């Protein structure tokens, strides 16, 4: 991994660059082409999971060459600042009805998979025509649920807690245009 250029080098909370702006841009273009081909003739309803997915969602929806629709839901998970407990609460529900829609759930990162398995159950109960998941990042983890992700941007190693491009620590760093390690990581991530 490459060192971050200044001024991020000067911030001791930020660590190594994990995914550059250019890598994100080119991977999203690829995902957009795949999604456009897979959903030709049945434009998907993109469902972004707030807040982490808002940056990815904005770029991904513009990379899809189909008349997509977009909606958002916000979830809060009980747990520590850096690890979910799997108990998820819907803070903002969708505006649109999912019945008979081809739903593509857009996530920032899948870690344990607990948030995702909750969301999957919740959305399937609304009887969409199909439900698939696109996650920008997937962390390699031992204790991961069965994931079944149709589209994955990047896999990151288990020891790295990351920020940027929508991902936060206590609401900070979502606006970084790249993904980098959070150096002041909690013990589970300190490697
Ligand atoms: P899971 O339920 O363990 O899969 O956790 C998924 C959620 O935890 C994501 O939607 C993020 O909000 C948060 N999360 C997990 N890992 C990171 C990270 O490295 N940086 C920022 N947020 C993370
Ligand atoms: Mg978060």
- Residues 72/47, Cβ–Cβ less than 8 Å: yes
Give the nearest ligand 1 atom to 52 CA: 12
Band of residue 101 on the pLDDT scale cut at 50, 70, 90: very high
Band of residue 141 on the pLDDT scale cut at 50, 70, 90: confident
Pocket test for ligand 1, best of 167, 179, 182, 190 (most atoms within 8 A of CB): 167
Residue 7: per-residue pLDDT: 47
Residue 83: per-residue pLDDT: 63
183 pLDDT more than 50: yes
Residue 189: per-residue pLDDT: 62
Q: In the predicted model, what is the mean pLDDT of residues 52-81?
A: 92
Q: Per-domain residue ranges for the chain?
A: 42-159
Q: How far apart are CA 133 and CA 27, in angstroms?
A: 16
* Cβ(180) – ligand 1 distance below 6 Å: no
Residue 129: per-residue pLDDT: 98
CATH no. of 42-159: 3.40.50.2020
Q: How far apart are CA 52 and CA 50, in angstroms?
A: 5
Active-site pick, 111, 140, 142, 148? 111
Selection from 165, 161, 164, 167 nearest residue 181 by Cα: 161
């Amino acid at each position: 991994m490459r060192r971050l250029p200044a001024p991020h080098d000067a911030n001791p909370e930020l660590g190594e660059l994990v995914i550059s702006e250019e890598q994100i841009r080119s991977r999203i273009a690829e995902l957009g082409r795949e999604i456009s081909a897979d959903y030709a003739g049945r434009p998907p309803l993109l469902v972004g999971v707030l807040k982490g997915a808002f940056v990815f969602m904005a770029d991904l929806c513009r990379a899809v060459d189909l008349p997509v629709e977009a909606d958002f839901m916000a979830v809060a998970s009980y747990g520590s600042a850096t690890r979910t407990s799997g108990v998820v609460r819907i803070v903002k529900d969708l505006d649109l009805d999912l019945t008979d829609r081809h739903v593509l759930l857009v996530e920032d990162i899948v870690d344990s998979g607990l948030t995702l398995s909750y969301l999957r159950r919740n959305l399937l109960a609304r009887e969409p025509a199909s439900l698939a998941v696109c996650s920008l990042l997937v962390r390699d983890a031992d204790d991961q649920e069965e994931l079944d992700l149709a589209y994955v941007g990047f896999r990151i190693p288990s020891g790295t807690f990351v920020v940027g491009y929508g991902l936060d620590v206590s609401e900070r760093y979502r606006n970084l245009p790249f993904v980098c390690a959070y150096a002041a990581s909690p013990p589970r991530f300190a490697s």
